[in-house]
Amino acid sequence: QSALTQPASVSGSPGQSITISCTGTSSDIGSNNLVSWYQQHPGKAPKLMIYEVSQWPSGVSNRFSGSKSGNTASLTISGLQAEDEADYYCSSYAGSSTYVIFGGGTKVTVL
């Protein structure tokens, strides 16, 4: 199975909104609502930002929101802040094969 497809980079100015897409197939993203998103700052472990497409873990800002349509999931960051500059990874459960697949990652730059 191939990795989920994400844009290599997305940028925006402080205060703006940006959206990161994550495209899979009918075997993973398209087959369930089990998409999660992770934020990773350089040299650090990833951090869970969204689970089950649009749910927030405790302590995560509601400036981060998730959605899904068909085989594509999206993460939107509203009110972009300097601290949001990081790599973002999507992930989906591939139930038919009973495993987890990640996207290739998107580098978010705050201009």
Footprint on this chain of other proteins (rule: CB under 8 A): 1, 3, 32, 34-36, 38, 45-48, 51-52, 57, 89, 91-93, 97-105
> Closest separation between CB of residue 84 and other proteins, Å?
19
Burial of 98 (C-beta count, 10 Å sphere; 0-12/13-18/19+): exposed
Taking the CA atoms of residue 29, residue 21, residue 7 and residue 14 in that order, the dihedral angle to the nearest 10 degrees is -150
Query: Residue 35 has which token pair?
Result: 């998409």
Which residue number, 85 or 87, has a Cβ lying nearer to other proteins?
87
Q: How far is the CB of 109 from other proteins (least distance, A)?
A: 17
Nearer to other proteins, 15 or 57 (CB): 57
Q: Which is nearer to other proteins, 15 or 70 (CB)?
A: 70
Question: Which one, of 57, 56, 3, 55, lies nearest residue 28 by Cα?
Answer: 3
